[in-house]
Amino acid sequence: MKLKGLLVAVLIIGVLFWVPNVGASGSNLSGYTICVDAGHGGKDPGAVGYVVEKDVNLAIALKVAQVLEMDGANVVLTRDGDYFVSLSERVQIANSAGCDIFISIHANSGPSSATGFEVYHYYTSSKGTALATYVDDEIAKLIPLKNRGGVKSAGYYVIKYTKMPAILIETGFVTNSYDASIISDESYQWKYAYAILHASSATSAFPSMIHYRLLRVSALPTTEATSALSSI
């Protein structure tokens, strides 16, 4: 009886955690090129508080790149380490690669009481607005931080001069202890990545896409992947 019960448990776990290989043909993002921009870097630390912005930006950006690639996308990173890249260089990287969308990862700073995330698009970009709306909605589902008033428009250099739908995400405040604990936590960083993946798959920037429903997590570190999926 014990052996039978164990076999049943193994089968149930297998069903719960089985997901298709999204890198195969038919993958939602196959054929698309996405630029993931980790803000700041090198001599430019960005905002400094309980954590350093450039480090959080890179950690999240690398996870975003990994899950997008697992879903078939060709990912272009403006930086993959701790070095400085100018704003004009970031734009040139995305434009030269002919990217379909541009996603810039940042973190905010302010008074210690300031908290929450924000998603920005360029003023006149309708597809950027659509992408920002999807990302904003998905982050709100997975991240226990305040949504600071929905999507916002701005003229930030990297979303103004890129030639594709572009957004800039302020993941949280490095100057707020709770926000800092969330954005520097590896399991929540995976959740930011999954939120961006969901939104990229569903956005009207890619009108032919079917909404993404399953994630391939077998290639992710077991502990982080299990933790990240627990509330999805």
Q: Which of the pair, 216 or 78, is modelled with greater confidence?
A: 78
pLDDT given for residue 220 in this prediction:
52
What is the reported pLDDT for 213?
32
Q: 0.85 exceeded by the pTM? A: no
Residue 221 pLDDT: 54
Q: In what helix (H) or strand (E) does residue 107 lie, and over which residues does it extend?
A: strand 101-108
pLDDT at 18 over 50: no
- 230 pLDDT exceeds 60? no
Q: What is the mean pLDDT of residues 211-232?
A: 44
pLDDT, tens digit (0-9, with 9 covering 90-100), for 139-181 = 999 999 999 988 999 999 999 999 999 999 999 999 999 999 9
Q: Which residues of 57-74 are buried (b: 16+ CB within 10 A; e: fewer)?
A: bbbbbbbbbbbbbbbbbb
Q: Give the pLDDT confidence score for residue 5 in this predicted structure.
A: 52
Question: Residue 8 pLDDT > 60, yes or no?
Answer: no
In this model, does residue 195 exceed pLDDT 90?
yes
DSSP annotation of 227 reads H
Give residue 202's pLDDT. 80
The one catalytic residue among 69, 170, 186, 224: 170
pLDDT of 105-128, one tens digit each?
Answer: 999 999 999 999 999 999 999 999
Q: What is the mean pLDDT of residues 203-210?
A: 48
Residue 219: pLDDT band with limits 50, 70, 90: very low
What pLDDT band is residue 201 in, cutting at 50, 70 and 90?
confident
Indicate the pairing of strand 166-173 with strand 74-77.
unpaired
Could you give the C-alpha distances from 218 to 8, 30, 69, 136, 221, in angstroms and in order?
A: 21, 19, 13, 27, 8
Instruction: Mark whether 170 is an active-site residue.
Output: yes
pLDDT tier at 75, thresholds 50, 70, 90: very high
